[in-house]
Structure 1
Amino acid sequence: MIDKEKKISRKLAPERSARMVETIFGCKWSLTVFQLLASGVNRPGAMVRSVDGLTTKVLNECLTKNTRFGILERIAYNETPPRVEYLITPFGKKFIRILDELEKLQKEISDEAAEQE
């Protein structure tokens, strides 16, 4: 008699998206940058002026990383002086929703741990 049971194949972590989440959470400024963009601050100079401790060098690295992932879009205007703005892409909005859910999960975990103490 042949066993006709279905077998479930091993589930692997989604490689690219997992790496993106790890990289974004690894950058301590990414979430702050997303918050700035959501509040309408989309120019790098304004971002640096809005947050204590954020340097131009670190901000540029963060913006470049997020642009490479497709979370942000860089718009350079052909003006003098040069003007650059960043926007959250449609993909970025989906990705940020996932980050928001992870933040909610962390709050629930922290609240439960506090109740047990």
Structure 2
Amino acid sequence: MVETIYGCKWSLTVYQLLANGINRPGEMVRNVEGLSTKVLNECLRKNLEFGILQRIEYAEVPPRVEYQVTAFGDKFLRILEQLEELQQELAK
């Protein structure tokens, strides 16, 4: 799981966007140069499958979809942060 998520260069970008309050797919694509809708959807799908993110659908016209980090996702992201800190220590 960690390899799949960490190996996808866009997952970390998506987590950063969510942390900054950007939780709608169209808004994500507009805020990140080089990120396509197709790649974003694949990334979001993987994160949904692992239970890191949840999809919230609103019954509105036009339809609105938002993503947010789950409780499990919060724990997972803390672990990723610790891995990043370890990597930085090794680089010293």
- The normalised TM-score by structure 1 is 0.77
Structure 2 residues not aligned, in runs of 5+: none
Kindly, what percent of the aligned residue pairs are identical? Answer: 71
Matched, 1:69 2:50: yes
2:34 matches 1:53:
yes
RMSD: 0.6
Aligned equivalent of 1:24 = 5
CA–CA separation in structure 2 for the residues paired with 1:31 and 1:57: 17
Following superposition, the deviation at residue 24 of structure 1 comes to 0.4
Would you say how many aligned residue pairs link Structure 1 and Structure 2? 92
What residue in structure 2 maps to residue 107 of structure 1?
88
Structure scoring higher RCO (CA < 8 A, sep ≥ 6) equals 2
Q: Which has the larger radius of gyration?
A: 1
1:94 pairs with 2:51: no
Query: Is residue 80 of structure 1 aligned with residue 61 of structure 2?
Result: yes
Q: State TM-score, norm by structure 2.
A: 0.97
> How big is each residue's C-alpha offset from its partner over 1:22-45, in whole Å with a ceiling of 9 and x where there is no partner?
100111100010010011000000
Where does structure 1 lack aligned partners over 5 or more consecutive residues? 1-19, 112-117
